Structure 1
């Protein structure tokens, strides 16, 4: 590599991890560690202060987590590329980080050479994903969108959320109990759940139902 070294900020709530990463990059003239942080909140402050080229970002940290920090930096117009470096490759970690604006996503068992190559790629604006993460991400992106609930299905779920039995919901809506069961089964399939409690919980979580509804 020629020219200026890649300016790097390391974000991890474990000091030992930060020490190890700092030692790794400090020993290579292609990189310059210009800041460190132990939380998402601290990361935002440090990145805005030193304006690095690349941020190595852990995800699960006390206080503001990594995804929130990535989103905050993006919202504030930071030009730093964020490369996630974490132990976790679960569905609940991968897609939110990428959607928040992460340039790449690597696991902490990545080799030294692979990590340095990923930082160089991130600095150049190129995405880098570990194989397991790439597989999960593609699987999520290819998953078909679920069909929205019909008005009648929402009405049935709303009554269930208020504690009505199938028979009571049928009476309130002037339909048969069998029809109520059919609407519930359709709602379960669309919400990706298998019982009444889960259907109500997911409906509230997605904003399909509100406490006053």
Structure 2
């Protein structure tokens, strides 16, 4: 299993890598733009990501924009719904607008609210059939 973690906070990368290392290969991006680049590179290598964990608040391209671009690229490649990456929003934003955008616009599998807790992260990933 291959994860892309897109968050402008490197401590989040380290924390999630520690939790996920036994289950998945993890790659990281600090911006939405870098996340989209890595997403495209993974497809070019014929090793697409199974899961993208996305922060919403980032400088430049935010997480919603990056996720929408990634979903659009999958549609352009003819990727079926069942084979699309699982999107996990990992953010401190809990307002209805952001939650709705995550689920309805980009078809997020789940929404994990910061601060992160190992048990909460693992439970969400298991409940949503990601791990």
Q: TM-score, normalised by structure 1?
A: 0.50
Q: Deviations over 1:34-73 (max 9, x none)?
A: x111111111111222211111100010111000111111
Larger Rg: 1
Question: Which consecutive segments of 4 or more residues in structure 1 shift more than 6 A?
Answer: none
Over the residues paired in the alignment, what is the CA RMSD in angstroms? 1.8
Q: 5+ unaligned residues in a row in structure 1: which ranges?
A: 1-5, 125-213
1:42-121 to 2 correspondences below 5 Å: 42-50=34-42, 51-77=48-74, 79-101=84-106, 102-120=108-126, 121=128
* Distance 1:12-1:75 versus aligned 2 partners, 3 A rule: same
Cα shift at 1:88: 1.1
More strand by share: 2
Shift of 1:103: 1.8
Supply the distance in 2 between the matched residues of 1:22 and 1:84 (Cα, whole angstroms): 16
Unaligned runs of 5+ in 2: 43-47
- Find the aligned partners of 2:91 and 2:64 in 1 and give their Cα distance: 12
C-alpha distance in structure 1 between counterparts of 2:121 and 2:129, whole Å: 10
TM-superposed CA distance for 1:110, in Å, is 4.6
1:101-133 deviation digits (Å, cap 9, x = unpaired): 222111023531231233343537xxxxxxxxx
Aligned to 1:19: 14
Tell me the TM-score normalised to structure 2 length: 0.78
The structure with higher relative contact order (CA 8 Å, sep 6+) is: 2
Structure-1 separation of matches of 2:123 and 2:20: 12
